[in-house]
A = this chain, B = another copy of it.
Amino acid sequence: MTILYFIDILGTMVFAISGALAGRDKNLDFFGIAAVGLITAIGGGTVRDILLGSTPVGWMNDLIYLAMIGAGILISLLFGKVVRKLRRTFFMFDTIGIAVFTVLGLQKALTLDVHPIIAIMMGMVSAVFGGVIRDIVCNEIPLIFRKEIYALTCLCGGIIFILMNKLGMDQTYNIILTILFIVSFRILAVAFKWQLPDIK
């Protein structure tokens, strides 16, 4: 679907921006910032493809991804301060991005004939693992392991997609439903500060 592809490459750029900004916060040099931006943007899909054995990994087959990542890195180098002020816009793009990454990752896994439960996990991995690697490279404990409800949202979205699929829902509607679910759930989670319980 053209619209999914469009959001996918846009989401990739948003991830590159978020990675590059994290690199700036760590006082990396030009190259380090670009590297963290790149890793954040492609990390999730790369880990998914490697686990599934779908290599060369996806972004190698379509240079538009690298181009969008390059653009994202440039944007965060040139307009970093502006981007940080556009928190809300940025948050929306990021949220739509992970929703689309989840659905596309899940679909890719399904085409490779793995069990639906594995496909749900791969959807989540596609969406969140870029951020995990970003945090590891930046020498932090991955954020999503500490306080974001982020990953769980993708997991629930994936479950909904698979369930609706089994129930025979039309795929286009199912995609829209899943994306809407992930986006609204995350907005609500942030708005009302939903948090998973700490275990003491």
Contact = CB atoms under 8 A, between A and B. Distances in A.
Interface in A157-200: 195-199
Nearest to A138: B141
A136 interface: yes
Given A51-B46, A114-B60, A117-B63, A141 B196 contact: no
Report copies per complex: 3
Interface in A101-126: 112, 114-115, 117-118
Q: Give the interface residue-count category, chain A.
A: 35 or more
Interface of A: 23-24, 26-33, 35-36, 46, 50-53, 55-57, 60, 63, 66, 77, 80, 112, 114-115, 117-118, 132, 136-142, 144-147, 149, 151-152, 195-199
